Amino acid sequence: MHRSAIAVLTLGILGAAPVARAQVVRYGVLDDPARSQLRAAWSEDSTQSERGYCVRRARIIAHPISPTAVDSVFRVLEVTPAKSTEADPNHVEFVCAAGTPELHTHTPATCIGSSTTYCSADGPGAYSCQPSRQDYEKLIRRGDPFGVIQCDRRAFRFYYPSDFLAHGDRAHIPIRPDSSS
């Protein structure tokens, strides 16, 4: 018997092939008021601490492109500064209400440790737009659908739980669309 016939016969005996997962493309967008607010607060000071913000209003819109392809637009409409409990040039600790995505800044400096004494403008760590392991772990622990990093006056990076989680765990990520539309 031909190999392809054996494969078809085996599929028939063992059951149908698993349904393919949808391919998802995500777009992160900051509306003008939020983007303007964050640009105005940006500083080139190499000794500054990171800052945290709570996303007050956001809209998540899914656009099915085909039965196996979905484009999602994550639109941040409004942010408010968060009260930080701890901040230094390498991290910021702050809390937003449950179900409220978070945005934080990365500084335009490379710092060794948490003291500004050992910070220098530019360098390999300056303007980093990469979420840290702690950023992803906090995002997943909180159940937020996305997080945002501001890494320059005009540069923003959205990141998502599925960027970090293993393929099989993606189904357990709660998505909380904006109810204030």
Determine what percent of the chain is predicted with pLDDT higher than 70.
Answer: 79
- pLDDT band for position 166 (cuts 50, 70, 90): low
Least Cα distance to 93 among 80, 104, 109 occurs for 104
Query: How many angstroms from the chain centroid is the CA of residue 46?
Result: 24
CB-based burial label for 53 (10 Å; 0-12, 13-18, 19+):
buried
Q: Which residues pair with 54 in a beta bridge?
A: 80, 102
Helices (H) and strands (E) in the chain, counts: 4, 10
Question: What are the helix (H) ranges across 114-167?
Answer: 133-142, 161-164
- Comparison of pLDDT for 41 and 18, the residue scoring more: 41
Please give the pLDDT value at position 167.
Answer: 47
- Write down the pLDDT at residue 129: 92
Q: Mean pLDDT score of the chain, rounded to an integer?
A: 82
Asked if residues 47 and 53 have their Cβ atoms less than 8 Å apart, the reply is no
Largest pairwise CA distance in the chain: 74
**Averaged pLDDT, 87-112:** 92
Q: At 23, give phi and psi (nearest 5°).
A: -85, 130
- Side-chain half-sphere CA neighbours of 17 within 13 A: 6
Q: Give the type of residue at 141.
A: R
Reference 71, options 1, 24, 9, 118; nearest CA is 24
pLDDT > 90 fraction of the chain, expressed in percent and rounded: 59
20 — pLDDT class (breaks 50, 70, 90): low
> What's the pTM?
0.77
